[in-house]
């Protein structure tokens, strides 16, 4: 859940590997998520405003000047208030938009970019791949994913092909799998993966 971000500490930011260590996030599990360099720059600017030795987002206090010595992170209501101001400034008036919406946006953007569904599952902290595959129904702008959302019976096939690809150490993007299933049966797709492995192990056909 997004409140886990409020408890981020300075030591959770790995600027060398560009990763964030999220403690007790979704499902009360720890995980690492990618940190874009542009976001790292913003986080550094944010920290310079308070220079708290431990907390990345400390509570500012009633006077707005107590952040450097705060013992707790900022309140959820403060973030929600800032989010409402940002949505109004951006001209977003859709009902139901919240801070949690950003989590869904992150997942759908990764999916539309062709990121491996299993990688998205890890970034989101989902215990089950089926939970991550819900975003297939939320994603627009890609023909094969739109077709899949209209034929939910194919979802199991996508999962099966991705899992076979993992066993064969072939990273498969969800777009690739959806496209393949639109033209072949799951059996034919898996057979193609096995032939792909044979080509790698025997590149000259000996």
**Domain ranges for the chain:** 1-92, 98-206
The reported pTM is 0.62
Cα distance between residue 96 and residue 92, in whole Å = 11
Tell me: pLDDT of 91 over 80.
yes
The pLDDT tens digits for 11-20 are: 999 999 999 9
CATH fold label, 1-92: hpI Integrase; Chain A (1.10.443)
The percentage of residues in the chain with a pLDDT greater than 70, rounded to a whole number, is 62
The pLDDT tens digits for 113-135 are: 777 777 888 888 888 877 777 77
Q: Are 9 and 47 in contact (CB under 8 A)?
A: no
pLDDT given at position 113? 78
By three-state DSSP, how is residue 204 classified?
coil
């Amino acid at each position: 859940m997004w409140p886990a971000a409020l408890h981020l500490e300075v030591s959770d930011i790995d600027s060398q590997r560009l990763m964030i260590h999220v403690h007790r996030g979704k499902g009360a599990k720890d995980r690492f998520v990618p940190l874009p360099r542009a976001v790292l720059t913003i986080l550094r600017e944010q920290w310079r405003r308070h220079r708290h030795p431990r907390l990345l987002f400390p509570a500012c206090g009633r006077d707005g000047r107590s952040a450097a010595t705060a013992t707790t992170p900022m309140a959820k209501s403060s973030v929600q208030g800032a989010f409402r101001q940002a949505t109004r400034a951006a001209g977003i008036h859709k009902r139901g938009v919240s801070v949690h919406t950003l989590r869904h946006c992150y997942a759908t953007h990764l999916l539309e970019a062709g990121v491996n569904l299993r990688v998205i599952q890890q970034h989101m902290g989902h215990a089950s791949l089926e939970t991550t595959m819900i975003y297939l129904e939320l994603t627009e702008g890609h023909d094969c994913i739109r077709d899949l959302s209209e034929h939910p019976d194919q979802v199991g096939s996508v999962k099966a092909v991705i899992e076979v690809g993992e066993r064969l150490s072939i990273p498969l993007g969800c777009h690739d799998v959806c496209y393949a299933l639109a033209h072949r049966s799951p059996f034919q797709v898996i057979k193609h993966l096995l032939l792909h492995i044979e080509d790698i192990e025997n590149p000259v056909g000996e």
